Amino acid sequence: MFTNPEQNILHLGLTEGMRVADFGAGTGFYSKACSPKVGYSGKVYAIEVQKDLVKKLESEIKQWGFSNIECIWGDIERRGGTKIADRSMDAVIISNVLFQAEDKLGLIDEAKRVLKKGGKVLLIDWIESFGGMGPIPEHVVTENMAKELFEKRGFKTIENISTSAHHYGIIFTYE
């Protein structure tokens, strides 16, 4: 883990009862960090396309003792692929997945579809390729490129956040 999920999610202003979608949840670092913030009445949806990771995460959630995280085997790049209702999420987390997405605009559109009016997106991605860590140079999505992609889809940049030496962070909103 190169960034601190607990620190990064503070910028989302999560409170009891909120609903969060963790796109490309992987091993659940962000889902786990969000769970106590949204509390018993909130919900975290950990969406992952790799079935083996979904099963592993489901098993770990039980060990962690979290009852408000639901794992979904889904496609974050396709409309409706997350299996989440339209305009139902207070926040979407997209950490270290934008560079991997084949359909970046499809990913952004799915985030927009599930977000409530005024909802926020936390985007974390690699600044550059670091000799074997992170994406290959051709797959790096720079901070400016990311802003352009999101703004093209109607998002507004709220703030840039400091994450780590190897990552950038941006908070977007959609009205």
Q: Buried b / exposed e across 116-143, counting CB within 10 Å, b at 16+?
A: eeebbbbbbbbeebeeeebbeeeebbeb
Gap between the terminal Cα atoms of the chain: 32
pLDDT computed for residue 7 by the predictor: 94
- State the pTM of this model: 0.94
Do the Cβ atoms of 60 and 29 come closer than 8 Å? no
Tell me which of 79-88, 94-103, 114-123, 131-140 is least confident: 131-140
pLDDT at 65: 86
Domains contained in the chain, number: 1
For residue 37, the domain's CATH number is 3.40.50.150
Closest CA to 6 of 26, 34, 40: 34
Average per-residue pLDDT for the chain: 93
**Beta carbons of 93 and 48 less than 8 angstroms apart:** no
Beta bridge mates, 172: 121, 157
Q: In what order do the strands lie in the sheet with 156-164?
A: 69-73, 43-48, 19-23, 89-95, 115-126, 167-174, 156-164
How far apart, in whole angstroms, are the C-alpha atoms of residue 97 and residue 38?
A: 23
pLDDT score of 116? 97
Q: pLDDT > 90: what percent of the chain?
A: 81
Number of other CB atoms surrounding residue 15 within 10 Å: 11
Q: CA distances (Å), 29 to each of 21, 66, 93, 94, 137, in order? A: 13, 13, 11, 12, 25
Residue 97: name the closest of 32, 62, 46 by CA: 46
pLDDT at 25: 95
* Domain assignment of residue 146, given as a range: 5-127+136-174
